[in-house]
A and B are shown apart, each in its own frame.
Chain A
């Protein structure tokens, strides 16, 4: 799954973080390959890597077995007979309550939630970050500080007031409501990300555009936006994985027929009725995890940069 090219991009990303911190060529000439130190070092790393890989392996293996084989009992054994039926069943037939149209419904619900949420949250946050970086007005920093402190407040504290606001607006339980919720909770980290990025751009560009008579929106669309595509991609990765993986807002702010994939997955796997079909469950789990995993492996370099920017500066 992780082919060489994606690994290389991941490496470049980490290097980008530490760029400027390491000077000169790194590393000494290797002396002996099989020294005691090396055996211990790679041994420890390999053991750790196995621990991290094990669940993924178990998921894949289980999802390719038939139920009789799963009941034989060894979750680590590779399938004797590979079958894709659990995947088909998870996608198109798995039941939640009375609905038996599989995870595909949750998938499409998630897509419908994801696309507008990502677009709106990034649009709002990037403009806010731009205003904070280039068009500071009195009090702006105060609001920004509240926003950043708000990032640490547990969601549970703010959820009910939001329910009331959305109910008053008549959009509680609708897609619009959920998009607003995702925009709200994406604001702190994204605004910080954009504000820091815009502030790091050379201020001369901004001044030159001002002298040429460009206004707020003109500078944003014609100078800032085209110069900041990388940070937009980072923000997108952050939001796509974050919103796709969300569970709490999905449960609180949607109705059963518009549940996102994570909620539906949990309902399928943890349902108490019927026989537990572990292979179908694992196929469903893999399907739900597939989107963020693909984002991770494809965008490795920027993914790491995103979480590093979000985490270290946060």
Chain B
């Protein structure tokens, strides 16, 4: 807090005092929790804390053990597959839906309400619904089989090889409505004259979208990308509700690894190391974006 006190004028601290008092919660949260808490976790990831945090420095031991753990490797692979596919599909589906909605259609509000309502639901509810829809006995697989295609197999939640796609389907159902809304706001921000000019020049609509509109929507795409990406790293509830990490540990994700080691396996050091890796992932996503966004703003 010393930073808010400039040197030179002695009565400066008392100036604007009410504002400073009112900002104390914000300052505490920013400094103690967000900054202090993060640093604390990073520092303690180098210790061998188990049931209770103890400052017993062991260097990179926890990280070595983390990367040697098959469960963590599965988590990382799942996160990579889930993350890449969910980025691609959310952006594509969101954009296509927004483009369809932008054709001056009727019932636009009805469609928008339908596409967005899953976003109001929690991941727990989402996971449990899709657990039921994808139930091999009664759900989609059962129905296709009862229609006569006896060998039809679609049981993502019970098949370790494809379980992550089952989670992906549910996640896309929940999240693409939001992406669509953001894209639609972006599309509505494109000047009508651009469309007129493209039409005069005889450029087909799909080419206008790909070569003119999408490049113009770059800021919207980047914001959406950052939002989706930071959501992906945090994915936890959905997996817990839909599969509890199973079958076996085929659908484990890093966030669940952290929780299980911190609060169930009583192995805090591992949890801290794993969460520091999550932090690192987020930093890799955020720092370039923040640099572009805020670095550019100052110059402009």
Contact = CB atoms under 8 A, between A and B. Distances in A.
Contact of A293 (B121, B128, B278, B290): B121
Interface stretch (B68-76, B104-112, B160-168, B206-214): B104-112
A2 B110 contact: yes
Interface string B107-151: 011111111111111111100111111010111001100100000
B268 interface: yes
Interface in A16-55: 17-18, 21-24, 26-28, 41-42, 44-45, 48-49, 51-55
Q: 3 closest A-B pairs (Cβ-Cβ)?
A: A150-B34, A245-B122, A135-B19
Contact of A59 (B129, B182, B227, B258): B129
Contact of A262 (B122, B133, B173): B122
Given A22-B188, A45-B100, A314-B227, A241 B120 contact: yes
A41 B138 contact: no
A157 interface: yes
B249 interface: no
Interface string B228-247: 00100110110011001000
A76, A132, A140, A164 — most chain B CB neighbours (10 Å)? A140
A157 B282 CA distance: 11
Given A49-B111, A75-B133, A161-B40, A42 B30 contact: no
B188 A216 contact: no
B259 interface: yes
Interface string B193-235: 0000000000000000000000000001001101100100110
B123 A245 contact: yes
A52 B25 contact: no
A278 B142 CA distance: 15
A269 B182 CA distance: 34
Given A269-B128, A278-B138, A131 B122 contact: no
Range class of the B interface residue count = 35 or more
Q: How large is the interface on A (under 10, 10 to 19, 20 to 34, 35 or more residues)?
A: 35 or more
A49 B188 contact: no
B26 A143 contact: yes
A139 B33 CA distance: 18
A247 B115 contact: no
Nearest to A247: B237
16 contacts: A49-B111, A59-B132, A73-B143, A136-B19, A137-B15, A153-B282, A154-B233, A156-B236, A187-B26, A216-B18, A246-B122, A247-B122, A248-B259, A252-B259, A252-B263, A314-B223
Contacts of B29: 147, 150, 183-184, 187
A27 B104 contact: yes
Contacts of B234: 154-156
Contacts of A281: 128, 132
A44 to B, nearest CB: 6
Contacts of A28: 104
* Interface hub of A28, A54, A155, A311 (most chain B Cβ within 10 A): A311
Interface of B: 3-6, 15-16, 18-20, 22-23, 25-27, 29-38, 40-41, 53, 97, 100-101, 103-105, 108-125, 128-133, 135, 137-139, 142-143, 146, 173, 177-178, 181-182, 184-185, 188-189, 192, 220, 223-224, 226-227, 230, 233-234, 236-237, 240-241, 244, 255, 258-259, 262-263, 268, 271-272, 274-276, 278-279, 282, 286, 290
B140 to A, nearest CB: 8
Interface of A: 2, 6-8, 10-11, 14, 17-18, 21-24, 26-28, 41-42, 44-45, 48-49, 51-56, 58-59, 62, 70-71, 73-76, 124, 127-128, 130-132, 135-140, 142-144, 146-147, 149-150, 152-162, 164-165, 183-184, 187, 191, 215-217, 241, 244-248, 251-252, 262, 265-266, 269-270, 278, 281-282, 285, 288-289, 292-293, 295-297, 300, 303-304, 307-308, 311-312, 314
B41 A161 contact: yes
Contacts of A131: 19-20, 22-23, 26
Contacts of B33: 150, 158, 161-162, 165, 184
